[in-house]
Structure 1
Amino acid sequence: MPADLAVIGLGHLGLPLAQAAVGVGIHTVGYDTDPRPFAELSAGRTPVEGSLSASDIRRMVSGGFRPTADPAELGRVRTAAICAPTPLGPDRTLDLGAVTDAARALAARLRPHTTVLVESAVPPGTTENVVRPLLEEGSGLRAGRDFHLAHSPGRLDPGNRVHVYGNTPKVIGGLTPACTESAAAFYGRLTDKVVRARGPREAEMTKVLETNFRHVNIALVNEMAVLCHDLGVDLWDVIRCAETKPFGFEPFRPGPGVGGHGVPVDPGHFPYHSRTPGHPLRMVSLAKEINDRMPSYVIQRCATLLNEHGKSVRGARVLLLGVTYKPDLADQESSPAREIATRLMDMGAQIGYHDPLVLDWRVRDLPVARADSLYEAAAGADLTVLLQHHRTYDLQGLAVKAQLLLDTRGATPAGAAHRL
C-alpha cells in the first residue's frame, strides 16, 4: 500500500513524528540516508537510545509504519518530512550534511503537489536558501508553485508524559500562504493546536529562541550554584522560595552540565548567508561558556570533598550515578557524565558507575565497571556522585549507605548529602 507520509531521518525527530502519524491512521514510510537506522528498525530495535522502545516500534509497524532502504518510496507520498540531525561540527557551526543529503534524495523523486516539511533544527534561512534550491534543481519543480514547502521546528521533550506530541502546539512557517495552509492541514491531524508563523525564517528562529532560552537560564542558575556554595547559601531552598512567585519567574535548576540534542546556537556561527552585520548573541556565547565549565566545577568539588575527608583523588574509588542526559531516559546525548569520568580517570581515580537504563558504558572506548548492587557499591566507594536523578533511586537510603555523597541535582533530602 502506498504511504501518505515519508519521514526522512529516523532519529530523535523523525521517529516520534512517524509514531504520531501512524497513531492517527497515516500510512508512513521511514527512510534514512544512513543505512544503520533501517537495519536496526528491520531487526525490531530502536536506532536512537531513549527515543522509542522496541515495543513502540512493533506497534508502529503493525499500525502501518514501514521502514525502507529504497529512496524510490519517497516519490509515492503526499507529504515528506525532513527530520535529519544537525550536530555541531568542529567549528561550532551546525552540520547540515544530513539535511542536504535528505533534500537531494527527495528531490530526485519529488512529484508535483507534494508538501515538503523541514523539521531539522537549522539556522534561519536554511529552508529557503539551502533546501529549496536543492529540491528545485533536483526535481525541476518550483517551490510554492508546483509543491509546498514549510518549516516546522521539532518541539518534543523526550520522556515528558504530560506534554506529548498531540497536545504540544506546532509552529509552521510556509514559503507562501498556501504552503503554510497545506502544512497546517497535515499537522492539524497530529496536534491540538497549530501556530502559523509569518514564514520559514520565523519558524526556524523560534527553535533558536527556545533552545537559547533554556541554555541561558541554566547558565544563570549554574552561576548562582557556584556563588551560593561560596557564600554558604542553600540555593535549592532559594529556588524553592522563588518559584512561589506567581509571575515574572520560571524555575530552572543547576546541574553538572547541559546535555540533550538542542544545542545553544549563536548567530555568529550561522552560515555566511544568514549572518547579519550586527553583534552576535553575546549572552548565548557566555551561557555556553558557563555551562561548559560545570563538569570542571564538579571535579573541583569532588577533589575538595575527598581532601576534607583525608583522601586524594588519585586512587580514590568514585561511583557515578546516572550517566544519561535526562532522568528516566536512556539517551546519553551530550551528557556531562563522560567528560566528568574522563577527568577523574586522568587524575588517577578508579571509576565505576550505575544507571538502571544503561547496561554498558564506555569512556575512551574502554568499558567502565557497572555496579550490580547499588548500595554495596556506594558503601565501598570513597565518593558517590549523583549526576542524574532516575526515579528508581532511593536517595535517602543511598545517603545512609554512601561514605560520601555529592548530589549535583539537589534531589536528596536536605542535610543528607553535599549538594552542588
Structure 2
Amino acid sequence: MSTPTPSLVGIVGLGYVGLPLGLQFARSGVSVLGLDIDSAKVDSINAGQSYIHHIDSDSIREQIDSGRLSASTDFSRVGDCGAVIICVPSPLNKNREPDISYILKTGEAIAPYLHPGMLVVLESTTYPGTTDEDLLGVLEKGSGLVAGKDFHLAFSPEREDPGNPDSRVAKIPKVVGGLSPACLEKATALYGQAIERIVPVSSCRAAEATKLLENIFRSVNIALVNELKIVYAAMGIDVWEVIEAAKTKPFGYMPFYPGPGLGGHCIPIDPFYLTWKAREYGQATRFIELAGEINTSMPQHVVNRVAEALNGVKKPINGSKILLVGLAYKANVDDDRESPTYVLMDLLKASGAEVSYYDPYVPVIRPSREHGHWAGTPSIAWDNETVGSFDVAIISTAHANVDHQELVDWSQLVIDTRNATANCSNRQHVVKA
C-alpha cells in the first residue's frame, strides 16, 4: 500500500528558500499555501509579483492563476495542511552562537494547529539535534500530540544556489531524514512529488549533519585559496592563473576561488553551528575554526591593500572617496545577507574614508539587524563623471551586468578582489587583492 500524500502543503518562510520550493511544488501539481509574517511578501505573491531578482513574476502569476499557489499571514490555516515545511532564517547572534529562535517561534505558531497524521519538515540549516530535540519539544508541548506517533517529523536541508541559471529545484537531489521510519517514508513521499531524486538518510541528525558538511567543505576550501592568494602574491604569482591551470586536471581537484570574505546565509554561518554543538560533546573543531579565522580576516587584508595602493599615489585612506562595486554577497543576485562588502564599508569608514557603493541589484540598502546603520543608503549612478570622482573603486562582487571595462576606464585606481578585470585593457592602475 502506497503512502498517501498531503493534499495541501504549507511552506513557512517565503524567502530565498521557501518561495522557489513552493513554486516547484505548485508546478508539480501540488496545492501550496505560503505563510509568512511579512505581509508585504504575502501581498506580492498574491498579486503575482516577485520580490527576488532571479525569480520572475510570470512564474508566480502562473501558479496563482492556476489556483495551486496562495499566500497568507494567518497561521491558523496550518490546520488545513497535510504537511508543513519550515524555511525560516537560522542566523548567529552577536556572540557568534546559533540563534534558532525563528525556528522555535515558528514551531510555537503552528503547534496549536497540528493534527494527527500531519507531517512537519524543517529545512532551516542548524546543528544536529535541533529537529528531534528543540523543535520536537515545542511542537509536542503546543499540540498535545506525540511526534513519531501522532504526527510525523523530518529534516531536509535546503540546497538553493541563487544566481546559478543551471540550478533547478527539481533537479537538485533532496536529502531527507525522519524521526522514525514512518516519518521518513512520509517525507520521502512528499518531496517525491516535486523533486526528481530523494536521498534518504537514517535520521534527522544525519540530514542536519549533511548540510553542515556541505558548507564546511566550501568554507575550508575557500579559506585555503584565500591563504594561498596572500602567499602566492608575496612570491609574485597570480593565484587566479594557478587555479585556472589546476582545474584542467580531470580528477582529484575542484576549483575554489578567493575573495574579500565570505557572505550569504550559509557558508559564513553554518560551520559555527557545528563548532558550537561540538563543544557540548567535548570535541574541538580546530580545522573548521582556523578556516573561519582566515576567511574572516580577508576584509582587513583588502583594506590593507587599499591603503598600500593609495599610499602609492600619495593619498591616505582618511579623507579618500572610496567606491565599493557590488553589495550582494555573490554575483548576479540581490541577496546582501552577511555580505563582506558591509564589513569593508565599516572598516573603511572607521579609517576615515567617505564610502559609497554601486550595485544594480540593490538600489537602496534595506534595514537589517547587522547593518542597520547603512539602511536607506542609495547606490550611486553609473557614469563616467560619478565613478571617476572616487579616489579608488573596489570590486567586491563581480556581477555579470556590470561593465568592468568601463570601471577601469573611468576610475583613478581599482582594487580587484574577484579577478573581474582579467580581460580588461588599460589595467596599469588595477591592483589585485
- Deviation by residue 1:84-137 (Cα, 9 ceiling, x = unmatched): 211111222221111111112222111111121111112101111111222222
Q: Within 5 Å, which residues of 2 pair with 1:194-343?
A: 194-262=198-266, 263-266=269-272, 267-270=274-277, 275-343=279-347
Alignment-derived partner of residue 419 in structure 1: 432
Per the alignment, in what secondary structure is the counterpart of residue 338 of structure 2? coil
Q: 2:27 aligns with which of 4, 23, 28?
A: 23
2:169 matched to 1:169? no
Which runs of 5 or more residues in structure 2 are unaligned? 1-5
Q: Is the Cα contact below 8 Å between 1:318 and 1:381 reproduced in 2?
A: yes
Which residue identity lines up with residue 61 of structure 1 in the other structure? Answer: I
Contact 2:111 2:139 in 1 (8 A): yes
Task: Mark the CA change 1:4 to 1:405 in structure 2 (over 3 Å): closer, same or farther.
Answer: same
Query: What corresponds to 1:403 in structure 2?
Result: 412
Measured on the aligned residues, the alpha-carbon RMSD in Å equals: 2.2
Q: Structure 2: how far apart are the matches of 1:373 and 1:92?
A: 36
1:129-208 pair list within 5 angstroms: 129-208=133-212
Letter in 1 for 2:271: V
**Alpha-carbon displacement from aligned partner over 1:266-285 (angstroms, at most 9, x marks no partner):** 43412xxx755342211111
Which whole-Å CA distance do the structure 2 matches of 1:154 and 1:140 have between them? 29
1:115 maps to 2:122: no
Equivalent residue number for residue 399 of structure 2: 390
Deviation per residue, 1:157-190 (Å, 9 max, x gap): 1121112101000000111112111111111111
| Greater Cα shift, 108-117 or 359-368 | 359-368
Structure-1 separation of matches of 2:375 and 2:12: 33
Match of 1:350 among 344, 349, 354: 354
CA contact (8 A) 1:378 1:403 kept: no
Checking the alignment, whether the CA contact within 8 Å between 1:264 and 1:284 is kept in structure 2 is no
CA distance in 2, matches of 1:202, 1:129: 14
Aligned mates of 1:166, 1:280 — CA distance in 2: 37
How far has the Cα of 1:393 moved from its partner? 1.9
SS at match of 1:255: coil
Query: Helix, strand or coil: the match of 1:158?
Result: coil
> In the TM superposition, what is the alpha-carbon distance from 1:201 to its structure 2 partner?
0.5
Name the SS of the counterpart of 2:116 in structure 1.
coil
The answer for the alignment partner of 1:62 in structure 2 is 65
Structure 1 Cα separation of the partners of residues 13 and 259 of structure 2: 31
Range with bigger deviation, 216-225 or 362-371: 362-371
Is the contact between residue 171 and residue 194 of structure 1 (CA under 8 Å) also seen in structure 2?
A: yes
How far has the Cα of 1:352 moved from its partner? 2.5
SS at match of 2:419: coil
CA distance in 2, matches of 1:98, 1:301: 39
Deviation for aligned residue 1:376: 3.1
> Does the aligned pair in 1 maintain the 2:275–2:289 contact within 8 Å?
no
SS at match of 1:328: coil
Contact in 2 for aligned 1:169/1:194 (Cα 8 Å): yes
Report the CA distance between 1:54 and its aligned residue: 4.5
Judge which range, 56-65 or 375-384, deviates more. Answer: 56-65
Q: Distance in 2 between matches of 1:109 and 1:151?
A: 20
CA 1:246–1:19: 2 relative to 1, 3 Å: same
Equivalent-residue separation in structure 2 for 1:212 and 1:156 (angstroms): 16
TM-score normalized by the length of structure 1 = 0.92
Q: Does the CA-based 8 Å contact 2:140-2:147 persist in structure 1?
A: yes
Please state how far the C-alpha of 1:34 moved relative to its aligned partner: 5.6
Partner of 2:3: none
Aligned length: 415
Gap regions ≥5 residues in structure 1: none
Distance in 1 between residues matched to 2:123 and 2:297, nearest whole Å = 31
Identity among equivalent pairs (%): 37
Deviations 1:189-226 (A, max 9, x none): 11111001111110000011111111111111111111
Q: Answer yes or no: is the 8 Å Cα contact 2:332–2:400 preserved in 1.
A: yes
Look up the equivalent residue of 1:269 and give its one-letter code. W
Residue 136 of structure 1 aligns with an amino acid whose one-letter code is E
- How far apart, CA to CA, are the structure 2 residues paired with 1:45 and 1:276? 45
Distance 2:50 2:362 in 1: 15
1-structure distance, mates of 2:107, 2:356: 44
**Map 1:43-54 → 2, pairs under 5 A:** 46=50, 50=53, 52-54=55-57
In structure 2, give the amino acid aligned to 1:391: A
In the alignment, what sits opposite 2:365?
A: 361
Counterpart of 1:295 in 2: which secondary structure?
helix
